[in-house]
Amino acid sequence: MFDFTGKTVLVTGASGALGTTLSARFARAGANTVVAARTGADELAATLDGTALGVRLDVTDEQQWADAIARTEERFGPVDVLINNAAYLRVGTTESISLDEFRQVLDTNLTGALLGIRTAAPSMRKAGGGAIVNINSVAGLTAAPGLVAYSSSKWALRGLMRAAAKELARDHIRVNSVHPGIIGTPLAHAPDGSEIVPVGGFAIPRQADPDEIADFVLFAASDRARFATGSEILADGGFLLGPVA
């Protein structure tokens, strides 16, 4: 369906449920896939089809970003696609969340994406352009009580995406975001296995499969979306419509 043959794609947060799916999908589509994660990157790269490289990356660390891009260029050449997928979630209200937890969430979800864009952009210029896709959330489009840090980071990520899209447009670098609804990953469940956000009352009354969300991400990263930049692609199963009466 998608062809990334000859393209070099870097996926952050690659060892998580969605990151693993994205890495596998890009690899199957022919990409030189760079799987970046704090742990397990080499092991994941070894399981993928085609050519893959594992790099250790804490997205909050500027030097690790520089090292990751350098290793990518040494192995494959310039970066064509960056998927800012790494995310951190802490439950807490505006009054209950600690300041340290709030900062940790913003550091990963917002600052991590900023560092990715600013480090990958010079590499993309060498390639003549590229595509950046930020994995956002419905929490960046509506109120998310009890997830104040996560929601704040995702709303701010929208501003980062739009600013970067305008700044990088003349370099033929597109910047877009995908806003998934509730995905069937560990992040969507409490320690007892219950859904943090029950979805049975919504238009599509189930959680998304990671592979369904990957379809939207690969589209945004591909030349099929070549006329889109600064765009927010919603894939929420009707979540924002509210519960069906």
For the annotated catalytic residues, the residue numbers are 150
- Residue with structure tokens 């290793």? 71
- Residue with structure tokens 């909050």? 60
Contact (CB, 8 A) for 101 and 149: yes
Residue 169 tokens, joined: 């447009």
Contact (CB, 8 A) for 124 and 77: no
Cα 139 to Cα 101, 136, 148: the distances in Å are 17, 8, 9
Residue 106 tokens, joined: 């913003």
Contact (CB, 8 A) for 178 and 217: yes
Contact (CB, 8 A) for 19 and 11: yes
Residue 60 — φ and ψ, nearest 5°? -85, -5
Provide the 10 A C-beta neighbour count for residue 200.
Answer: 9
- Residue with structure tokens 């350098």? 70
Contact (CB, 8 A) for 53 and 72: yes
CB within 8 A of 61, min separation 6: which ones?
Answer: none
